[in-house]
Structure 1
Amino acid sequence: MTNGSDSSFLYGANIRANGIRQHYLRYGGSGRPVVIVPGITSPAVTWGFVAERFGRGFDTYVLDIRGRGLSEASDCLDYGLDAMAADVAAFAVALGLEDYALVGHSMGARIGLRAVSRHGATPGCLAMVDPPVSGPGRRPYPAQLPWYVDSIRLMAQGADLEAMRPFCPTWTDGQLRLRAEWLHTCDERAIVTAYDGFSTDDIHVDLPRIPCPALLIAAGRGDVILPEEEAEIRALNPAIGLVRVENAGHMIPWDDEEGFYRAFGDFLGKLV
């Protein structure tokens, strides 16, 4: 996140929606509203570089999911998929967003899918970026829980980017530094609950119930969505568009930022 003269960053703010404090960052301020919902351990600020680009053409909001970043966290909160999906639907209503685009990455894509299929979210379109397709009776999500929990605990103790490097060896120093700074804001209870949900929540039943244009962006070098799983998604909802970013792993904009933007084409409107 930057605030220079060439930056599209406007401000960070809080709003009460779905009964909790939700924190977000806003970029651009004009054009079609776009709501970005990050993944399981990605506070909003870590998506700032993407929001800067989106902010050139769109009124962009990046959400801190409950239990992460500066949004509400406590041992009393429900950290399940349905609660997070209800948050997103309520967030858009609270801000009065119309014809907005909903863009979710990884867990955020599952949240967006559940929000439109069961919680009354009404975006003009939905982009799902490399969502975990694990669930009951399916292969497990390929990342292991200790990868998340161990790194969170290290950062909570005050570790620096060098301690983060073994977890994300291909990332730049700047990317590692930002993750090291903010990872401690991810509540371990929220992460464990969400991770467990990857194996217990059935998102495939939601796929035929998407009421708006939808796009699936998959990582070409990742193992989150296999070709046969793509085929199943197509069979469940043939209207879903599919684009692969061939040179990227699961963290697509970190691996191939320009390829990530190209993958959208004109799906959101004109992306500068």
Structure 2
Amino acid sequence: MASSNFPTLLYLHYWAGAGHAWQGVASALGPNYPSLAPDLGGFGGAPAPAGGYSVDAYADSVAAYIHDKQLTRYVLVGHSMGGKIALALAARQPAGLMGVALLSPSPPTAEPMTEQDRQDSLKAYGKPDQAEKTFQTITTRPQPPAIKEQIINDNLRSSKGAWDAWLLHGSRENIAARLCDIQVPCAILAGDQDQIMSPSVHGLETLPLLPDDTPLEIIGGAGHLLPYDAPEEVAALLHDFISRLPLR
């Protein structure tokens, strides 16, 4: 396949993360794969989405970004929160969308989070010791010091509006009824050591709502932060997924 035939990979990052979380995956895929990885509203260096912090408001902002970048052939690659946003956008059947790859996605139904965990996460905002604790929970494989610092710093520079809105509202939204409108190939990637959302969550809550023959790929020894824990495995699976997409 010639490099010009590859669609653009539009990466959507996880809650309390930033677009540069995808650097390892993009590097492993190589320069033949055009890619974009914006910061989502309220995270990284991005301002709040114009329409607020709902899943649809985020989908609106991604749609506007696609329009601004004049993308005509692209694949949405969404991780955790970014996965739910990708699903909401894909259900709109936007022009140019060729496929959707979901990494440990937040399910289209409410996330499996206890009220105690929700309250603890709300209180953890802006606290370095809690950011360190979160890092230990969402990664499994050893990370270089610079990457660990990046993950923790991304957590700490999240805006409070975006932080609270996802915990109180976005993670609880139910967009399951819309997923029947997704008409492009999909794939789910999950780590078998994910302490946030186990592969069974994806198999029960997301997979049955996606197109037939959607695979659920399990990456051994990886936790929730797949772009950091397993960039090369993710890149290989994305390559396989993209290679099977119909060219159009």
The separation in 2 between residues aligned to 1:178 and 1:228, in whole angstroms, is 28
Q: Say which SS state the counterpart of residue 153 (structure 1) adopts.
A: coil
User: Normalization by structure 1: what TM-score?
Assistant: 0.73
User: Normalization by structure 2: what TM-score?
Assistant: 0.79
Query: Size of the alignment, in residue pairs?
Result: 235
Give 5+ residue unaligned stretches, structure 1. 1-27, 156-161
Superposition pairs of residues 180-199 of structure 1, within 5 angstroms = 180-199=152-171
* 1:245 positional shift: 1.1
Deviations 1:17-55 (A, max 9, x none): xxxxxxxxxxx9995311100011111123322233345
Aligned pair in 2 of structure 1 residues 30, 264: CA closer, same or farther (>3 Å)?
closer
Greater Cα shift, 250-259 or 115-124: 115-124
1:264 aligns with 2:231: no
Q: Which has the higher strand share?
A: 1
2:40 is aligned to: 65
1:173 is aligned to: 145
Equivalent residue in structure 1 for 2:99, among 113, 125, 138: 125
The separation in 2 between residues aligned to 1:119 and 1:254, in whole angstroms, is 30
Q: Say which SS state the counterpart of residue 178 (structure 1) adopts.
A: helix
Q: Which has the higher helix share?
A: 2
Give 5+ residue unaligned stretches, structure 2. none
Deviations 1:88-124 (A, max 9, x none): 1121111111111110100001000001113736411
2:54 is aligned to: 80
Greater Cα shift, 164-173 or 107-116: 164-173
Q: Say which SS state the counterpart of residue 103 (structure 1) adopts.
A: strand
Aligned-residue Cα RMSD (Å) equals 3.2
The separation in 1 between residues aligned to 2:67 and 2:86, in whole angstroms, is 14
Q: Indicate if the aligned counterparts of 2:16 and 2:154 stay in contact, CA closer than 8 A.
A: no
Higher relative contact order (CA 8 A, sep 6+): 2
* 1:166 positional shift: 3.1
* 1:260 positional shift: 1.9
* 1:269 positional shift: 3.5
Deviations 1:52-103 (A, max 9, x none): 33452211100110111222238x8511100001111121111111111110
Equivalent residue in structure 2 for 1:255, among 200, 210, 229: 229
The separation in 1 between residues aligned to 2:115 and 2:238, in whole angstroms, is 25
Structure 1 counterpart of 2:40, one-letter code: I
The separation in 1 between residues aligned to 2:120 and 2:148, in whole angstroms, is 15
Greater Cα shift, 220-229 or 77-86: 220-229
The separation in 1 between residues aligned to 2:185 and 2:198, in whole angstroms, is 20
Deviations 1:129-159 (A, max 9, x none): 11122735x743799346655554135xxxx
* 1:254 positional shift: 2.1
Superposition pairs of residues 1-272 of structure 1, within 5 angstroms = 31-73=6-48, 78-118=52-92, 120=94, 122-133=96-107, 135-136=109-110, 139-140=112-113, 144-145=117-118, 148-149=121-122, 152-154=125-127, 164-169=131-136, 170=140, 171-223=143-195, 224-227=197-200, 229-231=202-204, 233-237=206-210, 238-269=212-243
Deviations 1:154-212 (A, max 9, x none): 35xxxxxx885333235431212112344343111111111223553113223322121
The alignment-based identity, stated in percent, is 21
Q: Say which SS state the counterpart of residue 127 (structure 2) adopts.
A: helix
